[in-house]
Amino acid sequence: MINSFDPARRKVVGGLAIGIAAAMKHLAAGAAIIDTSSVVAYDLRTAQRAVAASPESSSACGAQWYIIKRLIISTRRPSMVRILYSLHTENREFVHRRITTDSFDKACNIIDQYPWAREIALFDEQGAGGGFEFLLGDRQGLHAHYQFVPIEERQGLLMLNVVARQGLFKWLGRRSLTRDFHLVTADTAKHHVQDLFEHSIDSIFDKHSFARQS
């Protein structure tokens, strides 16, 4: 156990502060969105765990490089987000639509303009209905993927799948997770989907990995 006055821990925290300042200065011109409130929190805990596991990780130099690397990853502009959604038309024809966009507003419009009442009624009648998928990356490779299935008026089941590292033989060293949010409102779903437009696959994995541990 490392107490709050431990020299190794002070080096890490000091290194993080220096690293953050350097990274912010380096990325200030034309940088993408920087979410230091979340990224730094994740990396501070990670650095503290690393110090506990290995004295070598307590060097200020190592801590600086770690936080700079994580900030650069978190500020990298993500790929376009693919949106797939299915619904019934007014003639009851079941159709699938897809769009690729970098606009979160566009994703919100698709959710808001979705014929919720009609889909819920047809689901009750036919036992089948539409839904949404939001994909950052490649389903066959690294990706973050939300699935949102309407169940009630402007409410549905939300599921997240992330593969941040495939690993050797898709097992050894693999970084992946599945998170079930259960029944959420459309607004809550939009809040989660927003991450696909503003963060990298790595940072989304870190965010939900820590959320599951807390």
The C-alpha R_g of the chain, in whole angstroms, comes to: 21
Residue 158 contacts residue 182 (beta carbons within 8 Å): yes
End-to-end CA distance of the chain: 19
Look at the pTM and tell me if it is higher than 0.85. no
Supply 146's token pair. Answer: 């939300």
136 DSSP β-pair partners: 81, 144
CA-to-CA distance for 113 and 97, rounded, in angstroms? 14
- Residues 61-118 have pLDDT tens digits of 455 555 555 555 444 554 699 999 999 999 999 999 999 999 999 999 999 999 999 9
User: Under DSSP, is residue 178 helix (H, G, I), strand (E, B) or coil?
Assistant: strand
Supply 210's token pair. Answer: 């820590």
- Residues 160-213 have pLDDT tens digits of 999 999 987 766 889 999 999 999 999 999 999 999 999 999 999 999 998 776
- Tallying the residues shown for the chain, one arrives at 214
Among the listed residues 94, 95, 199, 93, the one whose alpha carbon sits nearest the alpha carbon of residue 146: 199
CA-to-CA distance for 59 and 104, rounded, in angstroms? 40
CA-to-CA distance for 159 and 182, rounded, in angstroms? 7
Domain boundaries along the sequence of the chain: 7-75, 81-213
The torsion defined by the Cα of 157, 162, 168 and 173, in degrees rounded to 10, comes to -100
